[in-house]
Each structure stands twice: as C-alpha cells, then as structure tokens.
Amino acid sequence: MKLRPWNNIKINECNEPLISIPETIFRLTPHPYMSLGAPYSNGADPWVLRRSVLKRLMQAQQYLSEINPQLQLALFDAWRPIAVQKFMFNHTIEETCRSKGIDINDLSANRDITDVIEEVGRFWAKPSSNPLTPPPHSTGSAIDLTLADMSGNPLDLGGEIDFIGAESTPDFYKKDYSMMPCPKHQVFQKRRSLLYSVMSQAEFVQHPNEWWHFSYGDQLWSWLSKQGNAIYGAAFEVSKDITLSVPSLVT
C-alpha cells in the first residue's frame, strides 16, 4: 500500500498529554468499535484527545452553538490505539470482501482482495507501528464526528460514517446540486459545509476522503495547512487521566 503524501511530514512530538473529553461534548454511544470487540486493552478509554485538540473541539462546539443553538457536535470516535486500528482495518477489509462476494481465503481471488485493500486504505490508515507514519487517530489529534439535534438525534449528512465509497467525499453532493438541484442533496451539502465551517474555524483540517474526519496537529494537518512539521506522533495512554508516553517503536 502506497504512503500518503502527508506521511513524509516530520513529527516534532510536543508531548502534550491525553485529556478526557468532557461529557458536555455529546458522544454517540455505545462506542461503535468497542461494540465490535475491538481490543481496547487495560480499560483504554477512546474518549480522550491531546490537550490543544480538545480545546479546539470545545471552541468548535461554541461556534456551532452561536450559528445554530439547536444543533450540537456528535462524537463518533476519538483516540484509537494502534491495536484497534489494526482490528478495524482488517474487519473493514473482511466486510468489504463479503459485500462484494469475494472469498478472502480463496487464493485465486488475490487480485480482487488487493483491490479491496487499496480501496479500504483510502479511508482507513494502515495500522503502522512505524513512529514516522502513525495512524492519525493513534496520535490523539483526530476525531470522527457529525451533527446532532439537542435531543441527541444525528442529522442525515448523506452518508454513514466509515462508509467505503464516493459518497464519503466531503463535497460529493456539491457538484450534484449545482448542476441538477435536488432538495435533499442541497440539505446534505449544507450540513456538511456547516460541520466543515465550525471545525475549520477552530483550526482543524478535514480528511480529503471523509466528511466526518478532522484533525489538528498531526501529519495531515501539517500537510494541508502548510505547517513545517506535525506536533503529534502516536500516543500511548498509561494513565486514564492525562499521562502519555511516546516510545520509539510500537510492538
């Protein structure tokens, strides 16, 4: 699998701790990957972020409240241990193969399986233990989220989080509704634009393939915002509160 262009960005780890996300930021529960049995060992908490990332997330929530007090951000996922990244990467490959009728154990289907791996890799970062190319969520600087009403009901943004397909591209509905107006698609694009607006105001960048994925301080952020380097590498939670260590190699 090819490296992404931002994987060449240098990381100058700033050693900010992971901080628990307060419950004032709405979470979609139960946590989707925990429900699948993903290996969050030793009671690891997915609802943590680097300190500066959390600060900006709370700013984004405030911006949204000022624009539309009837809406709130709805977190889908935050910090993700590399073991969980590996579990979900493989799970998504298996599920995608199954949906396409590909037998993952059939050696004659190697080419089809390789195509699926490449397709999945556009959305799921390779679960690398290389400290130079950490998966974004492992850094504690990336979040997956959507919009919800104040009762906690997620809005329809024209595609499910983690969907593998073109509909996940942030501006998928923009061309469609400008060329051939469709009221439903206009709503989807306006909601996606609103989410992007409040997150970018808080200095987050958006993944080019995923309308729901935003980050601050990682390699993607550095690449898109033309910063000299990233400030977060992979984060390894030692304490459930704020302690963090960054070893040179994940095993």
The pTM of the full predicted model, rounded to 2 decimals, is 0.89
* Phi–psi pair at 194, nearest 5 degrees: -65, -45
Q: What is the pLDDT along the chain (251 residues), one digit of tens a residue?
A: 567 788 899 999 999 999 999 999 999 999 999 999 999 988 789 999 999 999 999 999 999 999 999 999 999 999 999 999 999 999 999 998 888 888 877 777 788 888 888 888 889 988 888 999 999 999 999 999 999 999 999 999 999 999 999 999 999 998 755 566 688 888 999 999 999 999 999 999 999 999 999 999 999 999 999 988 999 999 986 444 433 232 222 22
Q: What is the number of other CB atoms lying within 10 angstroms of the CB of residue 48?
A: 22
Given 66, 119, 210, 237, the catalytic residue: 210
pLDDT at 227: 87
Nearest in space to 88 (alpha carbons), one of 131, 132, 39, 50: 39
pLDDT at 175: 73
Q: What is the number of other CB atoms lying within 10 angstroms of the CB of residue 239?
A: 10
pLDDT at 178: 59
pLDDT at 143: 98
Has 210 been annotated as catalytic?
yes
Structural domains in the chain plus CATH codes: 5-245 (3.30.1380.10)
Instruction: Dump the DSSP string for 92-157.
Output: HHHHHHHHTT--TT-GGGHHHHHHHHHHHHTTS------TTS--GGGGT-EEEEEEEETTSPBP--
pLDDT at 99: 87
pLDDT at 248: 27
